[in-house]
C-alpha cells in the first residue's frame, strides 16, 4: 500500500453561521483518479478552493506529499505541484491557444521575469506537442477566447498539463458539455492525465463518468463525508442511494 499523496483532515469552513465544509477527511493515493461527488450545494467547490488555497479553512489540515499546505496562498500551493482546472472556462481571452499553453511552460520553468531571452519561442514549440495530445494542434494559432466550449475545456487541461503537476484538481470537467464532448473529456483524463502518472481529484455530476473512470469516490452531503470508498462500495451505500440517487440527480444534475 503506497503512502497517500494528498491528505485532508478535519477540514472546516464557515461562512458566517453557515458551515459549508464540515470536518471533511479523505486521502488520495498517488496515480489514482479520485472523485468527489454530491448534490448541488454539498460543498464540493468550497472544498476544492480550500485545498487549492484560494480560500482559507476555518480549521483542519491539508497535506501534500507530507508537507502542510493549508492556508498557503494559491500560487504557493501551485508551486508545490497541486494545480486546479477551473469550473467556469477562464482561458486567456486574447492569447492564442499555443501562447496559453506556453504561459504555463514559462511559469513552470520559472522564466516569467525573463525579458532577455527568446525562451517563449521554445515554450511555444513545446506547447504544440501538448496541444497535439489533447487534440487542439490545429487550433494552435486561434485566439483562445474564440474556441468552442468543449475546446476551451480541452485547452484548460492542456494548460494544466503543461505545468506538469503532481495533483490535478478538476472541478466539474464536463459541465455544460454534449455527451460526445463528455466522453472525449473522460478519455482525455484517463489517457493523457492519469496516463502521465498525474493524480486526479475531480468533482463531477455525471455519474457515468464518475463510475466509469474513478478509482475512488468520496461522497459529500451538506458539507460532510457520508461515504468514501471504491465506486462499487459507494454505489451500493444505502445513505448515498437514499439522499443522492433518490433525488434523481444522478442523470440530470446540473452544474453546481
Partner 1 sequence: MALSMNDQPRAALTTTDHTAPRATPARRALRPMAIVVGLIVLVVLGMTLSPSNALELQYATSLALFAVATNLMLGFGGLVSFGQGVFYGVGAYTVALGWMHHSLSFGEAMVVAPFLGAAIAVVLGALALRTRRLYFALLTLTLSQLAYVIAENQANFTGGTNGVFGSMVPTWLLDPRNSFLFTLALVAVSIAILWKVTRSPFGLVLRAIRDNRSRVEALGVNVFAHELAAFVVSGFFCSVAGTLFVVYSQSSYPELLNWTSSGVPIFMAVIGGMYSFLGPVLGAFVYEFANHFLIQYTQDWQLVLGVVLLVIVLLRPDGLAGAGSAVAARVRHLRTVRATHDERPGVAETGEGDAS
Q: Restricting to residues 161-220, which ones interact with partner 1 according to CB under 8 A?
A: 163
Q: Are 237 and 231 in contact (CB under 8 A)?
A: no
Which of 152, 159, 100 has the alpha carbon at shortest distance from 124?
100
Shortest distance (Å) from residue 47 CB to partner 1: 16
Q: Which stretch binds partner 1 (CB under 8 A): 41-49, 137-145, 189-197, 211-219?
A: 137-145
Shortest distance (Å) from residue 19 CB to partner 1: 25
Examine residue 242 and tell whether it contacts partner 1 (CB under 8 A).
Answer: no
Examine residue 99 and tell whether it contacts partner 1 (CB under 8 A).
Answer: yes
Tell me which of 1, 113, 238, 252 binds partner 1, using CB under 8 A. 113
Q: Could you give the CA distance from residue 90 to residue 87 in angstroms, rounded to a whole number?
A: 8
Examine residue 129 and tell whether it contacts partner 1 (CB under 8 A).
Answer: no
Cell of 245: 440517487
Cell of 138: 490545429
Which residues partner with 243 through β-bridges? none
Q: Could you give the CA distance from residue 80 to residue 51 in angstroms, rounded to a whole number?
A: 12
Q: Restricting to residues 138-157, which ones interact with partner 1 according to CB under 8 A?
A: 138-143, 145-147
- Return the CA Rg of the chain: 18
Tell me which of 3, 40, 76, 195 binds partner 1, using CB under 8 A. 76
Q: Could you give the CA distance from residue 73 to residue 120 in angstroms, rounded to a whole number?
A: 26
Examine residue 132 and tell whether it contacts partner 1 (CB under 8 A).
Answer: no
* Dihedral sign from CA coordinates of 129, 130, 134, 140: negative
Tell me which of 56, 59, 68, 94 binds partner 1, using CB under 8 A. 94
- Residues engaged in binding partner 1 (CB under 8 A): 52, 54, 74-76, 78-79, 83-84, 86, 90-96, 99-100, 102-104, 106-108, 111-120, 123, 138-143, 145-147, 163
Amino acid at each position: 500500500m503506497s503512502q497517500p499523496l494528498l491528505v485532508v483532515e478535519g477540514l472546516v469552513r464557515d461562512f458566517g453561521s453557515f458551515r459549508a465544509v464540515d470536518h471533511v477527511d479523505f486521502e488520495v493515493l498517488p496515480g489514482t483518479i479520485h472523485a468527489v461527488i454530491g448534490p448541488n450545494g454539498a460543498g464540493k467547490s468550497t472544498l476544492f478552493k480550500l485545498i487549492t488555497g484560494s480560500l482559507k479553512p476555518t480549521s483542519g489540515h491539508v497535506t501534500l506529499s507530507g508537507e502542510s499546505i493549508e492556508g498557503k496562498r494559491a500560487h504557493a500551493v501551485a508551486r508545490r505541484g497541486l494545480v486546479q482546472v477551473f469550473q467556469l472556462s477562464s482561458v486567456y481571452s486574447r492569447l492564442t491557444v499555443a501562447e496559453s499553453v506556453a504561459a504555463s511552460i514559462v511559469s513552470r520553468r520559472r522564466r516569467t521575469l525573463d525579458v532577455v531571452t527568446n525562451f517563449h519561442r521554445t515554450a511555444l514549440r513545446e506547447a504544440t506537442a501538448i496541444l497535439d495530445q489533447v487534440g487542439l494542434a490545429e487550433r494552435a494559432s486561434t485566439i483562445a477566447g474564440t474556441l468552442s466550449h468543449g475546446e476551451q475545456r480541452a485547452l484548460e487541461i492542456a494548460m494544466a498539463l503543461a505545468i506538469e503537476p503532481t495533483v490535478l484538481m478538476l472541478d466539474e470537467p464536463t459541465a455544460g458539455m454534449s455527451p460526445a464532448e463528455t466522453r472525449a473529456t473522460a478519455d482525455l483524463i484517463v489517457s493523457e492525465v492519469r496516463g502521465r502518472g498525474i493524480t486526479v481529484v475531480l468533482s463531477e455530476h455525471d455519474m457515468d463518468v464518475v463510475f466509469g473512470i474513478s478509482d475512488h469516490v468520496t461522497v459529500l452531503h451538506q458539507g460532510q463525508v457520508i461515504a468514501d470508498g471504491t465506486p462499487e462500495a459507494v454505489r451500493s451505500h444505502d445513505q448515498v442511494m437514499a439522499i443522492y440517487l433518490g433525488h434523481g440527480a444522478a442523470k440530470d444534475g446540473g452544474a453546481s
